[in-house]
Amino acid sequence: MGKKLPYTPKSKIAGWIRRGWTQSRERAKVVKEAGYRCSKCNKKQSRAKGKEVKIEVHHIDKINWENVIRIIREEVLDKPQEVLCYECHKEETKKQVAEAKAKKIEANHES
């Protein structure tokens, strides 16, 4: 195994996204609405031994994964960070949320 990179590789970010998507409520809703069936051949999902059928959710409009990964890197991983205890982090987050709400209200009044 090679040396660890000093940054998170694309494959790891893609894995995070994939795991989040497979457990999302949006995905579960689409699968349920389809009756757990393939929309092309109508096969039903099954976990019965010897009769396993997996179903997947396919995005009709292609997703630009390079762009998604770039945004996660820029907006999450590469943003300036600091280490805080739980309580200080909670307090700082409250301040950020309040500031964002104030900016949104101000922008709405200017429109």
Which has more confidence, 1 or 10?
10
Pair 73, 13: CB distance under 8 Å: yes
Rounded CA separation 40/37 (Å): 9
What pLDDT score does 2 carry? 74
72 token code pair = 């996660």
What pLDDT score does 1 carry? 61
* Sequential DSSP letters for 57-95: ---SSPP-HHHHHHHHIIIIISS------HHHHHHHHHH
pLDDT band at 3 (very low <50, low <70, confident <90, very high): confident
88 token code pair = 């200080």
Inform me whether the pLDDT recorded for 5 exceeds 90: no
What pLDDT score does 60 carry? 92
Give the mean pLDDT of 14-19: 92
pLDDT in tens, 35-92: 999 999 999 999 999 999 999 999 999 999 999 999 999 999 999 899 999 999 999 9
pLDDT in tens, 91-110: 999 999 999 999 989 888 88
